[in-house]
Chain A
């Protein structure tokens, strides 16, 4: 998270000059675009631009020169051909729920909103797939498939709002991805508009293509390699039965160990989530879902499948939890109760948000066995920085979401929060994990990329990006740091947190 770098509100004459030049450029570009897209598809007035100034990472605010909302693939192609020729930066945007600043606008570029691509083009129950436009909401796919007994498996907590195009760009996960996989495991092919406006089919009807398989590479590429305009997603049969066990533990360590034991027993639950006491309290206050607020740690473990299978696995899971010193266990009595218990977990972010003026969501992944060590270190850091942390954890696959509570109006607290967040991510790398499990690098974690990858690897990433986007117009400055930036970040480390270049933007 980073301090805003907007030009608004500044009154020096140099800034006024900049504002004037930007306004001039804005009008020029709007004029040029009018021949490519309908006039109503171009937003240029301040009040029209404000809703687009940030994604879910609201600490970074930046208005684009223009927002363009194309309605057809041909228009996207025309805009990209034009942007490529003019070397105008283009940032794609789905629903803007991203948490790493991936859809944060470029000050000199256009924001390409894909909200109007909101149609399900084909639903093929026999073939087990759907073809959708990128602006379709994640949940809308499952809703459409439901009458056929099918659904789309990845279920990010933001699924009511986030777009499938954004999910592909971030390789989003959800609470059920332990068993059913991430976005990359649930898409079959993509249609993409390249940086220079050409149309590209990635994957196809046959399970394999000759040549390089670009589907996984494109998934999670954060709008850096092309614009997704069509997605073929896999639809799975809805499991006949799903049951949820809620277990409480007297420590997060015990709960963490219990997660490992369930897996050691040979069971892969549909979902296995862990929350600590602050997260339990916040979610209960928000959703009134029946969580025991005194518990130090809570596990939600869902089993799904055929009835006989689920019943036998529930019994085994209860046995394992008992051995792992569970304090209480409760199996949801009805589907309503099961969904209510999930609702508490899925609203954990906004719930924590109500407890504190601001919160900052971290997204590291660690090997599960490192959980006690990481929790202990975080506890220490939380005290040292005087910032409380609530933890929600996709425990089955080691994806940790510490939520740091802070107040941006207190001087210095945002900066302290950012520093603490960065420390936590570096800790994740130290124990063999990664700086981002599902929210992406965007602008937010660009410095921490330098900790995770060596220079040769970072150069290889840049070379790969250039293969797709030789002029570097797609989402410039995101996802992969320049080596210069890494050198500066490294230098910051050496000086023990004292910033050597306070005048530089710190993303």
Chain B
């Protein structure tokens, strides 16, 4: 039993109690690598460091469950699991070596496997949190099926710390894929997304798919990853064809961790934008709808659900364009610079939704001290 870390949970709770009593806004600080995905907390917020609350709590491969403190590094989790031939199926990114489990869950980030294996939320089984009153609460558990009480654990995913400080998280894990192969197809912007949609309707062992500028006018490269048993992957690549992508593992890691050159060397000035959109939206329509978007400045992940854009458009222009596509956008700041993001207000939401979200927030954090402002609107 690691007493130092037990103390760290109590310490975090004590800090929140104090902040609650003094009505001091808190900015929960994990590894600090995902600030570009959320808005900056209120200016007068005091930093609450949480990355010291770290370490794997329990891991039993045959139970398919791992529990760890929220400050545990994603890289450490990956290694722990990989030593037993298992992995986190939502393939969480580590943008830096400091990325923590808490940050991944709070921001709800998933890697390229998301459309085929599931999102971060899908793998959360239980959490322990400190709510805005400084109470330590435990939701869910360490078993796969559990419907006792409201599913507050999964509610924490993507809540960006606005409902509680994450202390511990239990996740479902799965055996690693036996074999992986990526195939590349040269297509056009108006056919790429439809091609991916068709693939997804077939019983294939799909694990990821992306669309990249091909460097040739009017062409795009569509990359499709197959993963599963060797037999299934062999059969799939035989049937579907395409060109073999060498070093495929590196490629998908670079998509996941945003270390791909697309994110490194911006083409022209401007911002990086993270846009989630209806996956079926054709790429040519998308490019046309986004102000000033050149085809070489768009990279598609999640079979069309996630589109990274480099553009010098203004925040207002971009938000309006993305809203018209039923999408969501985060302005991730200038490339390569650590900065806070800027989220789109809940534009497509109704008054009803806004009020409800505010009441939910109040029920966890009545003094409004936990990461106020992260969503870019009142909650």
Residues of chain A whose beta carbon lies under 8 Å from any beta carbon of chain B? 125-128, 149-150, 170-171, 173, 177-178, 181-182, 184-185, 194, 198-201, 204-214, 216-217, 219-221, 224-225, 237-240, 260-261, 263-264, 266-268, 305-309, 311-313, 365-369, 394, 397-399, 432-441, 445, 449, 452-454, 456-457, 460-461, 463-468, 479-480
A312-B231, A398-B144 known; A460 vs B363 contact (CB < 8 Å): yes
Q: What A residues does B178 contact at CB under 8 A?
A: 266
Question: Using a CB-CB cutoff of 8 Å, which residues 67-120 of chain B contact chain A?
Answer: 85, 108, 114-115, 118-119
B145 touches A398 (CB 8 A): yes
A268 to B174, CA, bound (A): 8
Q: What A residues does B216 contact at CB under 8 A?
A: none
Q: Which residue of B lies closest to A368 (CB)?
A: B63
A260 to B62, CA, bound (A): 6
Q: What A residues does B276 contact at CB under 8 A?
A: 206-208
> In this assembly, does B4 line the interface, its C-beta being within 8 Å of a C-beta of chain A?
no
Q: What B residues does A211 contact at CB under 8 A?
A: 346, 349, 353, 357, 375, 377, 379
Min distance, Cβ B306 to any Cβ of chain A, angstroms: 7
A434 to B277, CA, bound (A): 37
Q: Which residue of B lies closest to A240 (CB)?
A: B203
A264 touches B61 (CB 8 A): yes
Question: Using a CB-CB cutoff of 8 Å, which residues 277-296 of chain B contact chain A?
Answer: 277-280
Q: Which of B115, B137, B228 has the most CB of A within 10 A?
A: B137
B61 touches A449 (CB 8 A): no
Q: Which residue of B lies closest to A428 (CB)?
A: B143
Q: What A residues does B154 contact at CB under 8 A?
A: 184, 213, 216-217
Min distance, Cβ A459 to any Cβ of chain B, angstroms: 8
A306-B231, A397-B143, A460-B135 known; A445 vs B375 contact (CB < 8 Å): no
Could you say which of B176, B326, B345, B352 contacts A204, with CB atoms under 8 Å apart?
Answer: B326
A205-B326, A266-B85 known; A467 vs B360 contact (CB < 8 Å): yes
> In this assembly, does B215 line the interface, its C-beta being within 8 Å of a C-beta of chain A?
no
A211-B357, A216-B121, A309-B232 known; A171 vs B147 contact (CB < 8 Å): yes
Min distance, Cβ B378 to any Cβ of chain A, angstroms: 11
Q: What B residues does A461 contact at CB under 8 A?
A: 149-150, 152
A460 touches B151 (CB 8 A): no
Could you say which of B60, B230, B231, B236 contacts A311, with CB atoms under 8 Å apart?
Answer: B231
> In this assembly, does B344 line the interface, its C-beta being within 8 Å of a C-beta of chain A?
yes
Q: What A residues does B368 contact at CB under 8 A?
A: none
> In this assembly, does B311 line the interface, its C-beta being within 8 Å of a C-beta of chain A?
no
Q: Which residue of A lies closest to B122 (CB)?
A: A185
Interface string of B123-159 (1 = CB under 8 A from A): 0000000010001111101111111111110110111
25 cross-chain CB contacts under 8 A = A150-B201, A173-B145, A177-B145, A185-B118, A204-B326, A206-B278, A208-B158, A209-B346, A263-B175, A266-B175, A305-B229, A305-B232, A311-B231, A365-B143, A367-B143, A394-B145, A434-B141, A449-B148, A453-B148, A456-B137, A460-B152, A464-B360, A466-B359, A468-B356, A479-B149
A216 to B159, CA, bound (A): 12
> In this assembly, does B348 line the interface, its C-beta being within 8 Å of a C-beta of chain A?
yes
B201 touches A149 (CB 8 A): yes
A127-B280, A201-B353, A463-B363 known; A453 vs B201 contact (CB < 8 Å): no
Could you say which of A173, A199, A453 contacts B149, with CB atoms under 8 Å apart?
Answer: A453
A437 touches B143 (CB 8 A): yes
Min distance, Cβ B179 to any Cβ of chain A, angstroms: 11
B150 touches A217 (CB 8 A): yes
Q: Which of B142, B144, B198, B200 has the most CB of A within 10 A?
A: B144
> In this assembly, does B235 line the interface, its C-beta being within 8 Å of a C-beta of chain A?
yes
> In this assembly, does B343 line the interface, its C-beta being within 8 Å of a C-beta of chain A?
yes
Q: Which residue of B lies closest to A265 (CB)?
A: B175
Could you say which of A126, A127, A264, A437 contacts B147, with CB atoms under 8 Å apart?
Answer: A437
A209-B328, A212-B163, A264-B62 known; A437 vs B146 contact (CB < 8 Å): yes
A186 to B44, CA, bound (A): 42
> In this assembly, does B362 line the interface, its C-beta being within 8 Å of a C-beta of chain A?
yes
B328 touches A210 (CB 8 A): yes
A266 to B64, CA, bound (A): 10
Q: Which residue of B lies closest to A182 (CB)?
A: B145
> In this assembly, does B373 line the interface, its C-beta being within 8 Å of a C-beta of chain A?
no
A436 touches B147 (CB 8 A): yes
A460 to B361, CA, bound (A): 12
Q: What B residues does A221 contact at CB under 8 A?
A: 150-151
Q: Which of A194, A213, A261, A394 has the most CB of B within 10 A?
A: A213
A207 touches B306 (CB 8 A): yes
Q: Which residue of B lies closest to A170 (CB)?
A: B147
A178 to B159, CA, bound (A): 27
A213 touches B139 (CB 8 A): no
Known: A309-B229, A434-B147, A435-B148. 14 other contacts (CB 8 A): A125-B201, A198-B350, A210-B375, A210-B376, A211-B349, A212-B155, A220-B151, A238-B203, A438-B145, A453-B149, A460-B137, A467-B362, A480-B149, A480-B150
